[in-house]
C-alpha cells in the first residue's frame, strides 16, 4: 500500500511544482535591461569618493589637514594645501586619489573633519590605461589649483 | 496523385526535401523557444537582442558553431568519433517519414509505422555509445554507459504503453490510429498509458529530469564532452528533432493527430491542428525541464523498473481484458 501512496503523493507533488513554474511564466521579468533601463541606486551606495560642493560657499571645504591621507589603509590619497591668510585655515591645492587601489572602505569619509568627502553614485567607469584610475578630485569639482 | 512510378518518386523527393527543411527550421525554432521558456520561468527575458524577440539568435549561434575548429583528440578512435554525430542525426530524420501531418500528408503510410519510428529512435542510443566510447574520455564513457542503461530501461514501458493503443486500434498504421480517434481522443480512454508515454519519451530523448547522460553540471558535458563545432551542433539538433518526433507520435497516438476536438475541424486545416498539438506537448516537456531537478541515476533505474514497467504492464493487461469483454 505504501507503494501506491508513494506514487500518488509523489505524482501530486510534481503537479504542484509545475503549477509554481507555470505561474512564474507570466510574471514580469525581474531583470533590468541594462543599457535601456538603469537600476535605482540606494543613497547608501558606495561609488568612488568625490568632494562635496557645499551650497553656502559653492565649493569644497577641504582644509588639507591630511586626516584622510593618514587614515587610508591603502595609502591612495595625496593632499596638499596652502594657507590662504595668516590666521585662516588651509585650502587644498591638490587632491589625488588612486582608485586602482581604493577599496571604498569609507574611512576617509568618516575621518574628514569638515565632511567634505562623500561617496558618489557613479558606476559606469571605464578606462583604457592605468593612468585613467588616478583621479584629480579638485578638477572634478571644477577648479584646479595644480 | 496520379499513377505510375514517376509520381511516387516525385512524392518521395518532395517529401524528403520538405522533411530536411522542416527539421532544420524546427530545430531553429525549438532552440529559441527553449531559451525563451527557460528565461521566463526563471523571471528573466532570454535572448532579445538579435532580431525581433531574439528570433535570429539560433541562426547566429549556428554560424558561430560552424566557424569553430573541429578538434579530434589524438587518442580517440577517429572513425567512430566522426561517425557518431552523423549516426545520431540520421535515424531521427527517418522518423519523419511516417508521421501523419494531415489527412493526406504522410510521406509513406507504412502499415508498421509505429514500429518504424521506435526502431529507428533506438539507433540514437547506439550513436551515443559510439560517441562516448570513441572520445577516450572517462566522463564521456560514463555518460554514454548511463545513457544506454537509461534508454533500455525506459524503452520497455514506452513500447508497452504504445502497445495498449495499438491493441485498441488493432493496427500499427498511423493514419488508421488517427482516424479511429474521431469520436474521442485516446488520452481520455488511456490516461495512464498517455502519462507513461510522456514520461518515458522525456527519458528516451535524454531530456531533464532524465538528462544524466548529458549532465551539464556533473559530467562536464557527458557523452558529448569532446565534440566541438558542428559535431556538437549535430548532437544538439538531433536532440531537438528527436523531441519533435516523440511529441508528434504522442499527438498521433493519444491526442487525435490532425483532427480537431470530437472530429470537428472548425475550419482549421489538419496540419495546423497537428503542429499546434505537437508544439504544446513540446512546451510541456520544456516546462518539465525547468521545474524539476535531475534524478539520481539509481532513482532513475528504480523508477523505471519498479514503477513504470509494472504500471504499463498492468495497463496493457487491463486494456486487453476490457477489449475482450467489449
Residue A117 lies in a domain: yes
pLDDT band at residue B172 using 50, 70 and 90 as cut-offs: very high
Per-residue pLDDT, averaged over A93-116, amounts to 91
The CA distance from A33 to B124, in Å, is: 40
Give the residue among B285, B303, B90, B128 at the shortest CA–CA distance from B222: B128
SS (H, E, C) B224-250: HCCCCHHHHHHHHHHHHHHHHHHHHHH
Whole-number pLDDT of residue B72:
86
Which distant-in-sequence residues (6+ apart) come within 8 Å of B297 by Cβ? B146, B150, B212
Domain assignment present for residue A110? The answer is yes
A41 inside 8 A of chain B by CB: no
Tell me what pLDDT residue B4 has: 60
Asked whether B92 and B210 are in contact (CB, 8 A), the reply is no
Asked, for residue A129, whether it belongs to a domain, the answer is yes
Q: Confirm or reject contact between A129 and chain B (CB < 8 A).
A: no
Distance, CA of B63 to CA of B68 (rounded, Å): 9
CA distance A125 to chain B (A): 24
pLDDT higher at B143 or B253: B253
Element (H, E) at B289: helix B270-289
Q: Would you say B154 and B305 are in contact if contact means Cβ atoms under 8 Å apart?
A: no
Asked if residue A95 lies in contact with residue A52, where contact means CB atoms within 8 angstroms, the answer is no
Q: Which helix (H) or strand (E) holds B265?
A: none
Q: Do B233 and B66 contact (CB within 8 A), yes or no?
A: yes
Length of chain A (residues): 146
CATH number for the domain spanning A106: value is 3.30.70.3270
B43, B288, B307 member nearest A18 (Cβ) = B288
Residue A92 lies in a domain: yes
Nearest chain B residue (CA) to A3 = B307
A79 φ, ψ to 5°?
Answer: -120, 140
Q: Give the orientation angle of helix B229-254 with respect to helix B78-95, to 10 degrees.
A: 30
What is the grid cell recorded at B58? 539560433
Delimit the domains of chain B by residue range: 67-325
Element (H, E) at A136: strand A134-136
Say if residue B304's pLDDT is above 90.
yes
pLDDT at B3 (0 to 100):
56
Task: Mutate one of A9, A18, A27, A34 to test the B interface: name it (highest B CB count within 10 A).
Answer: A18
- 8 Å CB contact of A29 and B43: yes
pLDDT, tens digit, for every residue of B182-235? Answer: 888 999 999 999 999 999 999 998 887 888 877 655 556 677 777 888 888 888
Residue A28 maps to a domain: no
Q: What is the pLDDT of residues B8-63, one digit of tens each?
A: 888 888 888 988 899 989 999 999 999 999 999 999 988 988 888 888 998 999 89
**pLDDT (average), residues A8-27:** 90
Q: Based on the structure, what is the number of domains in chain A?
A: 1
Cα atoms in the 13 Å half-sphere on the side-chain side of B135: 27
- pLDDT score, position A85: 82
Q: Grid coordinates representing B105?
A: 500528408
Least confident of A65-74, A78-87, A94-103, B262-271: B262-271
Predicted confidence at residue B217, as pLDDT, reads 54
Contact check, Cβ <8 Å, B287/A29: no
Residue A93 lies in a domain: yes
Contact B287 A18 (CB under 8 A): yes
Owning domain of residue A129: 49-141
Cell 521506435 found at? B118
Tell whether A62 is covered by a domain.
yes
Specify if A15 maps to a domain.
no
| Strand (E) or helix (H) holding A90 | strand A90-98
Average pLDDT, chain B: 88
The DSSP secondary-structure symbol of B47 reads S
| CB B28, CB B54: distance < 8 Å | no
CA angle B276, B278, B282 (to 5 degrees): 115
Rounded to whole angstroms, what are the CA distances from B104 to A115, B100, B108, B179?
Answer: 83, 8, 10, 12
Amino acid at each position: 500500500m505504501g507503494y501506491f501512496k508513494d506514487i500518488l503523493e509523489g505524482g501530486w507533488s510534481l503537479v504542484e511544482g509545475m503549477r509554481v513554474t507555470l505561474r512564474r511564466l507570466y510574471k514580469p521579468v525581474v531583470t533590468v535591461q541594462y543599457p535601456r533601463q538603469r537600476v535605482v541606486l540606494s543613497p547608501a551606495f558606495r561609488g568612488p569618493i568625490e568632494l562635496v560642493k557645499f551650497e553656502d560657499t559653492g565649493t569644497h571645504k577641504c582644509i588639507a589637514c591630511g586626516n584622510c591621507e593618514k587614515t587610508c589603509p591603502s595609502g591612495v590619497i595625496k593632499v596638499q594645501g596652502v594657507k590662504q591668510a595668516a590666521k585662516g585655515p588651509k585650502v587644498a591645492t591638490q587632491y589625488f586619489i588612486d582608485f586602482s587601489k581604493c577599496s571604498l572602505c569609507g574611512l576617509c569619509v568618516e575621518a574628514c573633519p569638515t565632511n567634505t568627502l562623500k561617496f558618489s553614485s557613479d558606476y559606469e567607469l571605464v578606462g583604457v590605461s592605468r593612468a585613467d584610475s588616478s583621479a584629480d578630485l579638485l578638477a572634478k569639482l571644477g577648479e584646479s589649483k595644480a | 496523385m496520379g499513377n505510375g512510378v514517376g509520381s511516387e518518386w516525385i512524392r518521395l523527393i518532395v517529401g524528403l526535401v520538405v522533411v530536411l527543411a522542416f527539421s532544420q527550421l524546427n530545430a531553429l525554432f525549438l532552440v529559441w523557444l527553449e531559451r525563451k521558456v527557460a528565461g521566463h520561468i526563471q523571471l528573466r527575458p532570454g535572448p532579445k537582442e538579435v532580431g525581433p524577440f531574439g528570433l535570429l539568435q539560433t541562426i547566429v549561434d549556428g554560424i558561430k558553431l560552424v566557424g569553430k575548429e573541429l578538434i579530434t583528440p589524438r587518442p580517440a578512435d577517429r572513425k567512430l568519433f566522426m561517425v557518431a554525430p552523423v549516426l545520431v542525426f540520421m535515424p531521427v530524420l527517418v522518423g519523419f517519414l511516417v508521421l501523419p501531418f494531415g489527412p493526406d500528408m504522410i510521406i509513406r503510410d507504412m502499415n508498421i509505422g509505429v514500429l518504424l519510428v521506435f526502431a529507428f529512435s533506438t539507433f540514437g542510443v547506439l550513436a551515443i555509445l559510439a560517441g562516448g566510447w570513441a572520445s577516450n574520455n572517462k566522463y564521456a564513457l560514463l555518460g554514454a554507459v548511463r545513457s544506454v542503461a537509461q534508454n533500455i530501461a525506459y524503452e520497455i514501458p514506452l513500447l508497452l504503453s504504445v502497445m495498449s493503443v495499438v491493441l485498441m486500434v488493432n493496427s500499427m498504421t498511423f493514419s488508421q490510429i488517427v482516424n479511429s480517434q474521431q469520436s474521442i481522443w485516446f488520452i481520455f480512454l488511456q490516461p495512464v498509458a498517455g502519462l507513461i508515454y510522456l514520461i518515458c519519451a522525456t527519458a528516451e530523448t535524454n531530456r531533464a529530469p532524465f538528462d544524466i547522460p548529458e549532465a551539464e553540471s556533473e559530467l562536464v558535458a557527458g557523452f558529448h564532452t569532446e565534440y566541438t563545432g558542428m559535431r556538437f551542433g549535430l548532437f544538439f539538433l538531433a536532440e531537438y528533432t528527436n523531441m519533435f518526433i516523440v511529441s508528434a507520435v504522442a499527438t498521433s497516438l493519444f491526442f487525435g493527430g490532425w483532427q480537431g476536438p470530437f472530429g470537428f475541424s472548425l475550419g482549421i486545416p489538419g496540419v495546423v491542428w497537428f503542429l499546434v498539438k505537437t508544439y504544446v506537448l513540446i512546451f510541456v516537456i520544456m516546462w518539465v525541464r525547468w521545474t524539476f531537478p535531475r534524478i539520481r541515476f539509481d532513482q532513475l533505474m528504480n523508477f523505471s523498473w519498479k514503477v513504470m514497467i509494472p504500471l504499463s504492464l498492468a495497463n496493457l493487461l487491463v486494456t486487453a481484458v476490457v477489449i475482450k469483454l467489449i
